[in-house]
Structure 1
Amino acid sequence: MFNPEFIQAQSTKYLFPETPGMVSYTYRKSFQKDVAATLDTLKGLGITDMEFSNLFNKSAAELRKLLDARNIKCSSMGVNYDVLMNKTQEVAQNAKTLGAQYVRVANIPHSGIFKLEDARKAVKDFNSVGKELKEKHNLIFVYHNHGFEFQPYQNGTLFDYLLKNTNPQYVSFELDILWAFHPGHDPAKLLNTYGDRFKLMHLKDLRKGVKSDLTGHTSPENDVALGAGQINIPEVLKAAKKAGIKHYYIEDESSLKSVQVPKSIAYLKRLTY
């Protein structure tokens, strides 16, 4: 029997058919109390891919065991800039123990406004540590933007400087779409401009009415469920697909994450071309 609804369902192309990954920072307070129970909560949401920025008082081996028991993988491990530069071997070993392919840094030390000299030092450090991670440990280094890097420079920004002066063989990037939009830039345009320099993405949205600035700071309560804020999520995802983003992670820093994360997942799953 002809069923038009079945035909329509079969022909529908979903923009984001899979369940996204999750940044551990979203559930930081829960992880601090009970890692196993928090992983059970995430598994219940359909999460099978994680980016950890903290071991939450576990060894990497202990955390890996908890992940494996739930068929959850850790694809990326975030660390502090200074820790990466000073304890590279330890960081690499922890990443490999967790099963991560990527090692991520989300800040560049600087005082006051981010300056060219800060960017130059970061370029040198990133090229060096990225080479070591790649050649000695077969890991990929990624830098995660945090808003302050978009200070004007020449015909672009210091974020452009970071992208253009780091070695693509050793340095990749994780695009946090809120921290591209908050300083006044279009994350979809960045993806279209720099393509596969971006390997990972943080999916988050900015509350309507929040004004742009270059501080790299805004209240965690300005994180809202995807699709409820200012960012054109469908356009970003189309550009991300074209750029070849490998892993997407929801990050929601707000106190309402228990309500907003399920809404964000549901929103992504119903987006169509």
Structure 2
Amino acid sequence: MVTSVFADEPLFPQAPGVVSYTYRNEFPKDFAGTLDKIVSLGITDIEFSNLFGKTAAEIRVMLDERGMQCSSFGVSYVDLQTKTNEVAANATTLGASFVRVAWIPNRQPFTLELAEQTTREFNEIGRRLKNEFGLTFCYHNHGYEFAKHGDGTLFDVLMAQTNPNDVFVELDILWVQFPGADPVEILQKYGSRIKLMHLKDLKKGVVGDLSGKTAVENDVALGDGQIDIPAVLAAAKKAGVEHYYIEDESPSIDVQVPKSIAYLKSL
């Protein structure tokens, strides 16, 4: 069993994990070696958003061999809607408790009509995953949901019109900051609806928009960017966030991921 470098970290209910997307270029080349690399950093929790040509059973064996876990399984919206049984089976095999979707295709720019359509679909998906498979559905925000609507945003519409017992959030703090919202305010407002979090930081000076897209080079090591990470972590702890995943989409992960880990330890 690996001893995490975060073992004594009071900010987290358990050690932060990592999103497989961070190592999307490494996993296809050497899956086992990439797991070993992640373990060497003291990280044992992974959110897989791709099986990289492996079966869920094959991945589970490799995780078990290393004392690792997959707590969340990310899938495409199409697969979630049309292959729900397969998605649930893979999540269960991996050992995940959460199923996450991070992008809704062909709904950008987001409108009130699209938001209301999405809430109806989310309610059905969340109900099925919970009642039929014992899994928790989380939606990962991606920026475009923060379009203004009334006194709030369309993200508020998503939250207001989804069943709080069936639909939860994986809060990606970069994709809250990028469209001009405040991750701390979102955590304070929605509290226990936020079960998971992507820890990432946005390069200083970058001005965002509602596109849900930015250059990968704009991902920087935690503490080097615009986001007030200590304030976010304090709010997340109070909200009861269960799993935290470092995500770094940049081409500099060999430098930035260890730097992010060191920064979190310094807190």
Do both proteins adopt the same fold according to a TM-score greater than 0.5, normalized to the shorter chain? yes
Partner in structure 1 of residue 54 of structure 2? 58
Q: In the superposition, relative to structure 1, how do residues 44 and 82 fare at CA in structure 2: closer, same or farther (>3 Å)?
A: same
Q: Which residue pairs with 1:3 in the alignment?
A: none
Q: Name the residue aligned to 1:256.
A: 252
Match of 2:136 among 137, 140, 146: 140
Corresponding position of 2:225: 229
Matched residue SS, 1:200: strand
Seq. identity, %: 61
The question of 1:67 aligning with 2:82 is answered: no
- State the 4+ residue runs in structure 1 displaced beyond 6 angstroms: none
Q: Measured at CA, do residues 112 and 104 of structure 1 come closer, stay the same or move farther in structure 2, by a change above 3 Å?
A: closer
Whole-Å Cα distance in 1 between the matches of residues 244 and 138 of structure 2? 14
TM-score, normalised via structure 2 length: 0.95
Paired letter, 1:66: M
Residue in 2 that maps onto 1:9:
none
Q: Distance in 1 between matches of 2:162 and 2:142?
A: 17
TM-score (norm 1): 0.93
Q: Hey, what does 2:100 align to over in structure 1?
A: 104
Helix, strand or coil: the match of 2:70? strand
Q: Report what 2:196 is aligned to.
A: 200
Aligned equivalent of 2:24: 28
Deviation, structure 1 residue 113: 1.3
Q: Is residue 16–residue 269 contact of structure 1 (8 Å, CA) maintained in 2?
A: no
What's the offset of the Cα at 1:13?
8.2
| Shift, 1:20, TM fit | 1.1
Deviation at 1:111, TM superposition (A): 4.5
Q: Which structure 2 residue ranges, 5 or more long, are not aligned?
A: 1-7
Residue identity opposite 2:117 in structure 1? K
The yes-or-no answer on 1:238 pairing with 2:234 is yes
Contact 1:52 1:78 in 2 (8 A): yes
Please tell me whether the aligned partners of residues 20 and 50 of structure 2 are also in contact (alpha carbons under 8 angstroms). Answer: yes
CA RMSD of aligned residues (A): 1.3
Structure possessing the higher relative contact order (Cα contacts under 8 Å, 6 or more residues apart):
1
Aligned counterpart in structure 1 of residue 149 of structure 2, from 140, 143, 153: 153
- Which residue of structure 2 lines up, in the alignment, with residue 212 of structure 1? 208
Match of residue 4 from structure 2: none
1-side partners of 2:137 and 2:13: how far apart?
Answer: 27
AA matched with 1:246: E
Partners of 2:95 and 2:139 in 1: CA distance = 19
**Aligned residue for 1:171?**
167
Which amino acid counterpart does residue 90 of structure 1 have in structure 2?
E
Q: What is the aligned partner in structure 1 of residue 182 from structure 2?
A: 186
What displacement does 1:128 show? 0.3
**Distance in 1 of aligned mates of 2:9 and 2:202:** 27
Alignment length (residue pairs) = 260
Secondary structure of the structure 1 residue equivalent to 2:258: helix
The offset of 1:95, in angstroms, is: 0.2
| Alpha-carbon separation, structure 1, partners of 2:138 and 2:230 | 24
Kept after mapping to 1: 8 A contact 2:12/2:237: no
Question: Is the contact made by 1:199 and 1:245 (CA closer than 8 Å) also made in structure 2?
Answer: yes
User: Structure 1 residues 12-21 or 244-253, which shifts more?
Assistant: 12-21
Residue 84 (structure 1) aligns with: 80
User: Tell me, what secondary structure is at the counterpart of 2:25?
Assistant: helix
2:114 and 2:14 map into 1 onto residues whose CA distance is 38
Query: What amino acid sits opposite 2:49 in the alignment?
Result: S
Q: Give the AA of the match of 2:82.
A: N
Q: Contact 2:137–2:166 (CA<8 Å) still a contact in 1?
A: yes
Answer yes or no: is 1:128 the counterpart of 2:124.
Answer: yes
